[in-house]
Amino acid sequence: MDNPNYKSGFVALIGRPNVGKSTLLNQVIGQKVAIMSNVAQTTRNKIQGIYTTDEAQIVFIDTPGIHKPQTKLGDFMERSSLSALDEVDAVLFVINATENKGAGDNFIIERLKRVHQPIYLIINKIDQVHPDRLLAVMDQYKDSLKWEQVLPVSALQGNNVREMLQEIVKKLPTGPQYYPEDQVSDHPERFVVAELIREKIFQLTRDEIPHSVAVDIEQINREDEKTIHIAATIVVERPTQKGIIIGKGGQMLKKIGSLARQDIERLMGDKVYLELWVKVVEHWRDKSSTLKSYGYRK
Ligand code: GDP
Ligand code: K
Ligand code: MG
């Protein structure tokens, strides 16, 4: 790659939970690397999705929602999403067009005032609103920050996403292609596998299981040319939660395993044998030492 005009940079995705950050990333990358769900805060670590063309490369950082911390985990999540902002070349602040600007948005805006990089306001879910409503939302935000640009999109349907990328690329510095073009994420496989299992738990158990669930990947081994053996432990805080996840006669755990396995097979392109265990560790979220062993690192 010896194009002197090649552009590249790191771009952070910021926004309240459920505004559609993961969906947008997936739309851009075209592959399931981030977690989508209706449950707030399923994305706990930074995930980098990498978008590469002949002219530019954008390395996306999907940050956890910025919110007021209540536990050590919350505190960690907040610090990691803020520190990400110092390292990036641009910030995408994503909002949901169907919602009015609220306290959570103002909280983020206050923090973004300290950021010197270009900040784009991405108004998502425009497929759900009338143009008049879109104008009203723009009005609510227009004086909140010095926006580099205001870009309405539908992450789900893809409307205006290509145009959004073009605008971001225009402002990126010239620089190298950091990653090979066939790479979409630099995360270790085990992180993505753990997130896929977590996603199934949230989808299937809904409100019954709060966010006190961690997934620890004990091993990923290649059995033979076509089969991968994965062993994972689901860590919960209370015996009742363990009961819900296992379900009557183990039915729930079986369902979680089966759906997760299908996704993992799609991701890895091989047959997967997935072994799931459930373990209770009381108050794991408040213990810094256990946080580290479950893969949350600075
Ligand atoms: P995140 O928490 O910001 O990462 O949000 P997600 O990407 O997980 O999306 C939350 C929910 O909003 C999911 O049910 C998505 O399908 C939905 N969603 C995301 N983008 C759009 C969009 O452009 N239009 C519509 N109608 N729904 C969307
Ligand atoms: K979410
Ligand atoms: Mg997300």
- Using alpha carbons, list the distances in angstroms from residue 66 to 86, 109, 150: 15, 10, 20
Is the CB of residue 26 below 6 angstroms from any atom belonging to ligand 1? no
Ligand positioned closest to the Cα atom of 39:
2
pLDDT of residue 35: 46
- The alpha carbons of the chain give a radius of gyration, in whole angstroms, of 20
- Ligand 1 atom with the smallest distance to the CA of 26 is 7
- Decide: residue 204, CB within 10 A, 0-12 exposed, 13-18 middle, 19+ buried: middle
pLDDT of residue 1: 53
pLDDT of residue 110: 87
- Ligand 1 atom with the smallest distance to the CA of 128 is 26
Q: Tell me the per-residue pLDDT of 24-42, one tens digit each, with 9 for 90 and over.
A: 988 888 754 554 444 433 3
pTM beyond 0.90: the answer is: no
Q: How remote is the CA of residue 256 from the centroid of ligand 1, in Å?
A: 22
- Ligand 1 atom with the smallest distance to the CA of 42 is 2
Q: How remote is the CA of residue 211 from the centroid of ligand 3, in Å?
A: 14
ipTM (interface pTM):
0.97
pLDDT of residue 284: 63
Q: What is the C-alpha to C-alpha distance for residues 166 and 181, in angstroms, rounded to an integer?
A: 18
Report which of 247, 241, 262, 145 is spatially closest to residue 199, judged by C-alpha positions. 262
User: Edge-to-edge, what's the strand order for the sheet holding 47-52?
Assistant: 47-52, 56-62, 7-14, 90-96, 119-124, 149-152
Q: Where are the domain boundaries for CATH 3.30.300.20 in the chain?
A: 189-293
pLDDT of residue 36: 45
Q: What is the C-alpha to C-alpha distance for residues 84 and 61, in angstroms, rounded to an integer?
A: 8
33 neighbors 60 (Cβ within 8 angstroms): no
Q: How remote is the CA of residue 34 from the centroid of ligand 3, in Å?
A: 7
Q: Tell me the per-residue pLDDT of 73-116, one tens digit each, with 9 for 90 and over.
A: 555 555 555 565 766 889 999 999 999 999 889 988 988 888 88
Q: How remote is the CA of residue 265 from the centroid of ligand 2, in Å?
A: 23
pLDDT of residue 19: 92
pLDDT of residue 292: 47
Q: What is the C-alpha to C-alpha distance for residues 12 and 21, in angstroms, rounded to an integer?
A: 10
Q: Where are the domain boundaries for CATH 3.40.50.300 in the chain?
A: 7-171
Considering the segment(s) 189-293 as one domain, its CATH architecture is 2-Layer Sandwich (3.30)
Amino acid sitting at position 60: F
pLDDT of residue 264: 85
Ligand positioned closest to the Cα atom of 160:
1
- Decide: residue 106, CB within 10 A, 0-12 exposed, 13-18 middle, 19+ buried: exposed
Is the CB of residue 158 below 6 angstroms from any atom belonging to ligand 1? no
Domain 7-171, CATH among 3.40.190.10, 3.40.50.150, 2.60.40.10, 3.40.50.300:
3.40.50.300
Is the CB of residue 18 below 6 angstroms from any atom belonging to ligand 1? yes
Report which of 57, 60, 88, 87 is spatially closest to residue 177, judged by C-alpha positions. 57
- Intervals of the chain under pLDDT 70: 1-2, 31-48, 62-84, 86-87, 180-189, 207, 210-211, 284-298
